[in-house]
Amino acid sequence: MHALVTRSFFALLMLVISASALAQSANPLLTVEGERGSQSLSLDDLRRRLETREIEVVNPDLGRPVRYLTFSLADVLKLMDAGDADDLVFHCLDGYAANTAAANVAKLDLRLAYGEDGVPERWSAIPTGKTMTDPAPFIVISANTSDSKTFSWPFQMNRIEAVSFARKFPLTLPSGAAADGEVSRGFGVFREQCLKCHSVNLQGGEVGPELNIPKNITEYRSSEFLRQWIHDPSQFRARARMPPTQLTPREIDEVIAYLQYMAGQKHGE
């Protein structure tokens, strides 16, 4: 009898623990790190404290309209005491780290999406190279552009850093380059389009390879190869995770000029 009671109690305890774990997994956390510290709020907390707006917009990764449940990102940052940042870095579960100027929050009407078709945490899988990826827990979307060149929509996003870019990524800066020259223009393109996946001097995204140390990519790949690769990696590799670029030929050459310049500014080896 004692063994039966003990076993039944253990089974009940495991059921409670499992239910608790399930409840936690079904209530994802968003963390925002600002100059004044870090805060985390659950989706339930955000829904209680912020207004939800349902919008329909074309998802650039799916190529079709999707109806999202969203919060204003400006409201999220204000609520979590990070509304005065210069730059934002969106950290995703797969290592992707997309950065954008804080001014784009208003300019592009950025919003935090937490579900589709009126259902919190319902998501359409997104193609990523050879696989389909669940974009949970959050996607940062733009209500007024689906142009991924203007703003890439970071999915699997769970943490936002509200920072100064120069303090966060100082080793990516092309120190000494002319402010209005090709190298600086290339840095501007790289900052917006490439740093989300790639790092320079180990600062930046973690999805793609490091591009400067110990060998700068321009030291072992020709400019002509890089032009073709950046334009469309699928020419060389089936189902390449890196998508075809929307950069112009001039912008590609400017990015290459920036990378060539950074070969002379190696740090962190």
Looking up residue 198, the CATH number of its domain turns out to be 1.10.760.10
**Is 138 in the same domain as 53?**
yes
Could you tell me which residues are beta bridge partners of residue 163?
Answer: 87
**Is 69 in the same domain as 54?**
yes
Indicate the residue among 166, 196, 231 that finishes a domain: 166
Q: What is the 8-class DSSP label of residue 138?
A: B
Number of domains in the chain: 2
Q: How far apart are alpha carbons 148 and 154 in whole angstroms?
A: 10
Helix (H) or strand (E) holding 189: helix 182-193
**Is 162 in the same domain as 187?**
no
196-248 per-position pLDDT tens digit: 889 999 998 888 899 999 999 999 999 999 999 999 888 888 877 787 888 99
How many angstroms separate the most distant Cα atoms in the chain? 84
Residue written as tokens 């733009």? 142
**Is 162 in the same domain as 31?**
yes
**Is 155 in the same domain as 216?**
no
The residue count for the chain: 269
**Is 90 in the same domain as 176?**
no
DSSP letter string over 33-73? EETTEEEEEEHHHHHHHS--EEEEEEETTTTEEEEEEEEEH
Of 36 and 22, more confident? 36
Domain hosting 111: range is 26-166
Could you tell me if residue 146 is inside a domain?
Answer: yes
Question: In 3D, which of 233, 1, 181, 191 has the Cα closest to residue 97?
Answer: 191
101-156 per-position pLDDT tens digit: 898 999 999 999 999 999 999 999 999 878 899 999 999 999 999 888 788 899 99
**CB proximity list for 120: less than 8 A, separation 6 or greater:** 43, 47, 69, 114
Indicate the residue among 104, 133, 166 that finishes a domain: 166
Mean pLDDT of the chain, nearest integer:
88
Record the pTM: 0.68
Could you tell me if residue 58 is inside a domain?
Answer: yes
**Is 122 in the same domain as 185?**
no
Q: How far apart are alpha carbons 75 and 77 in whole angstroms?
A: 6
Could you tell me if residue 112 is inside a domain?
Answer: yes
**Is 87 in the same domain as 114?**
yes
Strands (E), 143-223: 157-163, 199-200, 203-204
**Is 41 in the same domain as 79?**
yes
